[in-house]
């Protein structure tokens, strides 16, 4: 008799949210609305003197526009899938065991040493080829 505990596989503990699907027509309307809002933002930032003369107002317009676009995008079917992906990626990032400061320093020093040795080898191989080519051509 096999023990089921020893065969346990690492599984994610993500609680799959019920992603509601909206109709294709509504999805297309949301995307069209996003395109229109983006066009209005671009047009406003280029042609209204209020925004072209003040970089602070331009920044506020762009930031508010991006927030509105992201809020609408999250309501689309593709946006809901994207948001679910972000939540799952965040969960996976919490599972990562990050190296300690000393491990990071040691790894960095090893990489720097290997890069230095490889650079010297490549330099000498280049010099060898340069001398060989000069010897052949002269």
Q: Has residue 7 got a pLDDT over 80?
A: no
Considering the chain, what percentage of its residues have pLDDT values greater than 70?
86
Mean pLDDT score, 49-70 = 89
Query: What pLDDT shows up at residue 32?
Result: 94
Q: Is the distance from CB of 45 to CB of 52 less than 8 angstroms? A: yes
Mean pLDDT score, 37-44 = 92
What band does 47 get if pLDDT is binned at 50, 70 and 90?
confident
Q: Could you tell me the sign of the dihedral formed by the alpha carbons of 35, 39, 45, 50, in that order?
A: negative
CA 36 to chain centre: 26
Query: What pLDDT shows up at residue 51?
Result: 80
Q: Has residue 19 got a pLDDT over 70?
A: no
What band does 52 get if pLDDT is binned at 50, 70 and 90?
confident
Place of tokens 């294709």: 24
Q: Has residue 79 got a pLDDT over 80?
A: yes
50: nearest Cα among 59, 42, 58, 40 = 58
């Amino acid at each position: 008799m096999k023990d089921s505990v020893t065969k346990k596989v690492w599984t994610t503990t993500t609680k799959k949210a019920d992603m509601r699907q909206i109709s294709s027509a509504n999805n297309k309307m949301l995307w069209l609305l996003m395109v229109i809002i983006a066009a209005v933002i671009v047009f406003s930032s280029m042609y209204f003197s209020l925004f072209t003369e003040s970089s602070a107002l331009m920044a506020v317009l762009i930031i508010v526009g991006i927030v509105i676009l992201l809020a609408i995008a999250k309501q689309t079917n593709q946006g809901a899938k994207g948001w679910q992906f972000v939540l799952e990626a965040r969960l996976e990032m919490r599972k990562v065991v990050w190296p300690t400061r000393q491990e990071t320093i040691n790894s960095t020093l090893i990489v720097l040493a290997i890069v230095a040795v490889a650079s010297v080898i490549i330099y000498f191989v280049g010099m060898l080829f340069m001398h060989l080519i000069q010897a052949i051509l002269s």
